[in-house]
């Protein structure tokens, strides 16, 4: 059985995982040379980004001839194509959210997936055309890629490196 697996873009995961590791290093440095309030704040930020990083790394959508499988945060939802009742889009400049309505509920995914246009095209091809909004078909003609979130992650990595250097120099 042929299947296509779509995961979150590596261009986003690499800086995000780097950010998690650098926050861990900064937390360890603050445990030895920091104030209690600093340790608490860094621990909260570290654990929050760690959870988001794990969730982003584990998230995937698998498209087969028989149906769709969505995996996220250790949960898995399976749908057959007849269970899909509607496919819509919310396009916010470079960020797009795709809403998949099924008999089991509402599910959404964004354009942060690798080859999201191919993912969307695969779903549109398998679903009855009257269940797909015209805006989805228009989006497929000119898909948008999201780069600003990746840039923000790299800038955050640089800021954390700056704080690590300050911590090492001033301690």
What is the per-residue pLDDT across 101-124, written as a single tens digit (0 to 9) for each?
999 888 988 889 998 889 999 999
Q: Could you report the per-residue pLDDT of 5-54, keeping only the tens digit for each? A: 999 999 999 999 999 999 999 999 999 888 899 999 999 999 999 999 99
Task: Encode burial over 89-104: b for 16+ CB neighbours within 10 A, e otherwise.
Answer: bebeeeebebebbbee
The owner of tokens 């003609």 is: 141
Q: What is the reported pLDDT for 171?
A: 67
The owner of tokens 């498209």 is: 63
Q: What is the reported pLDDT for 31?
A: 92
The domain segmentation of the chain, as residue ranges, is 3-170
8 A C-beta contact, residue 84 and residue 101: yes
85-99 average pLDDT score: 88
């Amino acid at each position: 059985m042929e299947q296509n697996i779509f995961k979150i873009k590596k261009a986003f995961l690499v800086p995000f995982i780097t950010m998690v590791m650098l926050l861990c290093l900064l937390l360890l440095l603050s445990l030895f040379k920091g104030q209690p309030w600093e340790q608490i704040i860094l621990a909260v930020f570290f654990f929050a980004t760690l959870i988001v990083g794990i969730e982003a790394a584990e998230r995937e959508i698998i498209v087969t001839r028989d149906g769709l499988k969505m995996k996220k945060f250790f949960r898995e939802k399976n749908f057959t194509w007849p269970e899909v009742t509607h496919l819509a889009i919310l396009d916010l400049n470079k960020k797009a959210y795709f809403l998949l309505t099924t008999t089991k509920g509402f599910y959404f995914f964004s354009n942060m997936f690798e080859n999201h246009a191919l993912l969307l095209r695969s779903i549109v091809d398998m679903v009855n055309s009257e269940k797909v909004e015209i805006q989805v078909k228009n989006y497929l003609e000119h898909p948008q890629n999201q780069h600003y979130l990746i840039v923000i992650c790299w800038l955050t990595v640089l800021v954390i490196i700056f704080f690590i250097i300050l911590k090492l120099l001033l301690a």
